[in-house]
């Protein structure tokens, strides 16, 4: 259970960070940004699970 808590916090912080970036960029290439952020999130989650 102790490993789940930092993962949840990481997910929440990344979610807020992504929203801040999307608000900052507004309508500028939102689709590309979403895809890039999704890939980054996948890579980070995979690295976290391997540890």
Confidence check: pLDDT of 1 > 60: no
Please give the average per-residue pLDDT across 2-16, as a whole number. 77
How far, in Å, CA of 18 to CA of 24, rounded? 10
41 in Cβ contact with 17 (< 8 Å) = no
φ, ψ (nearest 5 deg) of residue 41: -65, -45
What does the block give as tokens for 45?
């989650």
**H or E stretch covering 3:** none
pLDDT over 60 at 3, yes or no: yes
Q: What is the pLDDT of residue 30?
A: 63
As given in the structure block, the two tokens for residue 14 are 């990344």
Per-residue pLDDT tens over the stretch 10-48: 888 888 887 877 777 776 666 777 777 788 888 877 777
């Amino acid at each position: 259970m102790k490993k789940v808590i930092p993962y949840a916090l990481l997910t929440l912080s990344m979610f807020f960070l992504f929203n801040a970036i999307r608000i900052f960029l507004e309508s500028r290439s939102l689709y590309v940004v979403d895809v890039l952020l999704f890939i980054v999130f996948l890579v980070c989650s995979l690295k976290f699970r391997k540890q």
